[in-house]
Amino acid sequence: MSRLPPAIFLMGPTASGKTDLAMELARVLPCDLISVDSALVYKGMDIGTAKPSKQQLAEFPHRLVDILDPAQAYSAADFRRDALEAMAEITARGRIPLLVGGTMLYFKALLDGLADMPSADPAIRQALEAQAEAEGLQALHAELSKVDPVSAARIHPNDPQRIIRALEVFHAGGISMTDLRLRQIAENGAPGASATLQLPYTVASLAIAPAERSVLHARIAQRFEQMLEQGFIGEVRQLRSRGDLHAGLPSIRAVGYRQVWDHLDGRLSAEEMKERGIIATRQLAKRQFTWLRGWDDLKWLDSLASDNLTQSLKYLGSISILS
């Protein structure tokens, strides 16, 4: 057995039941929860992110929830730094970090490390966000295709955060993200190969999702309608009223928020907003499944099963993560 301390990853597509299972595990195991979600980091974005309720957070505190203002950007590197710090604190108290969420890039960055890239440049980022707002995200993706075709091929045209980050790296240093990675591999070996980058934990990886994709689609539609009933439009209206937020920010580009923002701008009717919000959420789930299909040593659980807690504990025991 490895002498590294244990950690548990609980992953899955949106609306699959990750949070509920994480809280069940925390009831019976000495676990502390760490959120792995690029939207839950933002204060004032509660309904559209399906953030755990205040009562749930009081009973089961989640690290890395409500840590940023929506005007701020948060990168995978920021997450890795904050998560490692939280994990170290949890381990030092003799407990197990349980990382739960659906931002797969964050899980990957935490597990494998990140190549050294130029630090974020607020001026460059603001200019790119303004360009995205004025010309559309497709224009930025087209620009990326010219300066870094490899990155453009692997980054989805509707992924603003990664498109802007790749262009930011190019504008900051005059070298593309791809060329920078190749240079670092030539000099130091592959990113993530260094012991300083590898995660110093023995990780057990769980994933939860409905066995039938149609069930997940139905749950996504139902949850989006519930968000609207709970006041999602009012939440976005309140964010807009601040005056310092705009549709180019990573927070406002979160699934659902951009569609409601466009509705309040008069670009979408209420019905179009709901339809596009549900479609965007389904597309997010599809991307999450794509990440998970390539994940090694993953224990899958069916969202509709009645014994997921038992199955999880049995699996964790079988690989001695709890010993």
CA distance 49 to 163: 22
Q: What is the pLDDT of residue 2?
A: 55
State which residues of the chain have pLDDT below 70.
1-2, 185, 187-197, 323
CA distance 6 to 17: 23
CA distance 144 to 147: 5
Classify residue 5 by its DSSP letter: P
For 178-224, the pLDDT digits (tens) are 888 787 767 655 444 443 457 899 999 999 999 999 999 999 999 99
What pTM was computed for the model?
0.81
Closest alpha carbon to 83 in 95, 67, 71, 99: 99
C-alpha distances (whole Å) from 150 to each of 141, 174, 237, 295 are 12, 16, 38, 22
CA distance 263 to 261: 5
Complete DSSP assignment for 12-38: --TTSSHHHHHHHHHHHSSEEEEEE-T
CA distance 282 to 94: 39
Complete DSSP assignment for 62-82: EETSS-B-TTS---HHHHHHH
CA distance 109 to 80: 7
CB distance 63 to 86 below 8 Å: yes
CB distance 177 to 169 below 8 Å: yes
Here the tokens at position 149 are 């075709």
100, containing H or E segment: strand 96-101
Q: What is the pLDDT of residue 196?
A: 43
Q: What is the pLDDT of residue 189?
A: 54
> 6-114+194-318: what CATH class?
alpha beta
Residue with tokens 């970090």: 97
- 93 three-class SS: coil
CA distance 192 to 187: 14
Q: What is the pLDDT of residue 195?
A: 38
Q: What is the pLDDT of residue 314?
A: 96
CA distance 300 to 143: 39
Provide the residue ranges of all domains of the chain, joining segments of one domain with +: 6-114+194-318, 122-188
The correct answer on CATH 3.30.70.590 for the domain covering 122-188 is: no
